[in-house]
């Protein structure tokens, strides 16, 4: 479908209704992004580091929680299955999901902290990031898989947001069960070993992540050749490789690759852009789009979020406005 037709379709009440009825089960590593914002006017007398006078503290949903938020902001239905700690960050994350009216199925691990990223920012420049995290217990993972078995039936599509924090250790079993139920599984992968993603429908690595698995490739033809081998090996239907300023490349089994140039007018902050891409691909699948048309939505949505500071989202009107600019 050409861009003008796709834009016109999104404006129609029926397709907005399709998006509103689409249900995506988001499974993965959720985190809380906390921003300390302030001014720097002096250097510390204790060490050669800037002193930030913090005057604003902001909190945002991160990781899999941000993926769910992206789906919700565009008008879809997201249910989040994730593991949190018994702490203030976990309470804050759960409360924020409630405020956004995102259905959650959170499993509490009393022996680990909620994954928390604290960023110190002055004049739109990040000065420092502190991470608080540890892997979940076997008991928490077992509870998470049991919950997955319960909530899977209501989902149109399963989306796995793997940030390498340990919350997706049972992903191979989840994919097997989802496929047996006829559910498409979309993966935002992590690490150098993709064998756990065997049988998934689509993966969305960025080029750097893709190269860690297949080796150094850069030209579109070489990327597609490597993707075809990977898809055959893992029994995948498609790979969408994001290429930063070069846009994105959709590689499907035994087909020519499809390229779209970047839609970003300016790049302010790429934090969370991958969350937006996988969220739009899975939501589009649940709403009835094919992967090629879904890539249009994902590309424009990503172009919107990278123009904002920090972990951000795009709504459907912003995405349509991006299409109209082009």
**What is the percent of the chain where pLDDT is above 70?**
91
* Residues 262-306 pLDDT 10s: 765 555 555 657 899 999 999 999 998 888 888 988 888 888 877
Q: What is the mean pLDDT of residues 169-185?
A: 96
> What are the tokens at 102?
């995102």
Annotated catalytic, 275? yes
Angle, helices 64-74/273-287, rounded to nearest 10 degrees: 50
Task: Return the pLDDT at 124.
Answer: 84
Query: Mean pLDDT over all residues of the chain?
Result: 89
- 3-class DSSP state for residue 50? strand
Task: Return the pLDDT at 2.
Answer: 63
* Residues 62-112 pLDDT 10s: 999 999 999 999 899 999 999 999 999 999 999 999 999 999 999 999 999
Choose the catalytic residue: 269, 275, 293, 317.
275
- 3-class DSSP state for residue 163? coil
Q: Measured between alpha carbons, how far is 257 from 250 in angstroms, rounded to an integer?
A: 6
Instruction: Tell me the whole-structure pTM to 2 decimals.
Output: 0.90
Q: What is the mean pLDDT of residues 43-61?
A: 94
Q: Is 307 exposed, middle or buried (0-12, 13-18, 19+ CB in 10 A)?
A: middle
Task: Return the pLDDT at 176.
Answer: 96
């Amino acid at each position: 479908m050409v861009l003008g037709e796709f834009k016109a379709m999104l404006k129609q009440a029926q397709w907005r209704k399709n998006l509103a009825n689409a249900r995506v089960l988001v499974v993965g590593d959720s985190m809380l992004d906390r921003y300390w914002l302030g001014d720097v006017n002096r250097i510390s007398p204790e060490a050669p580091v800037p002193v930030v006078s913090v005057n604003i503290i902001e909190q945002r949903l991160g990781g899999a929680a941000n993926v769910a938020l992206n789906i919700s902001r565009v008008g879809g239905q997201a249910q989040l299955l994730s593991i949190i700690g018994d702490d203030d960050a976990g309470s804050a994350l759960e409360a924020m999901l409630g405020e956004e009216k995102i259905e959650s199925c959170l499993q509490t691990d009393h022996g680990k902290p909620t994954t928390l990223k604290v960023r110190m920012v002055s004049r739109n420049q990040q000065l420092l990031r502190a991470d608080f995290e540890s892997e979940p217990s076997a008991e928490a993972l077992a509870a998470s898989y049991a919950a997955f078995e319960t909530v899977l039936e209501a989902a149109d599509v399963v989306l796995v947001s793997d940030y390498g924090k340990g919350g997706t250790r049972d992903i191979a079993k989840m994919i097997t069960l989802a496929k047996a139920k006829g559910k498409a599984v979309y993966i935002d992968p992590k690490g150098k070993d993709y064998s756990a993603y065997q049988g998934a429908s689509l993966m969305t690595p960025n080029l750097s992540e893709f190269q860690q698995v297949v080796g150094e490739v850069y030209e579109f033809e070489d990327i597609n050749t490597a993707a075809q081998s990977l898809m055959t090996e893992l029994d995948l239907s498609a790979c969408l490789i994001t290429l930063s300023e070069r846009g994105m490349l959709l590689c499907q089994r035994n087909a020519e690759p499809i390229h779209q140039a970047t839609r970003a007018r300016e790049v302010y902050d790429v934090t969370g852009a991958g969350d937006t891409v996988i969220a739009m691909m899975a939501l589009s699948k649940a709403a009835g789009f094919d992967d090629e048309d879904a890539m249009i939505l994902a590309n424009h949505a990503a172009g919107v979020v990278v123009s904002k500071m920090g972990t951000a989202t795009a709504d459907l009107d912003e995405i349509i406005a991006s299409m109209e600019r082009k």
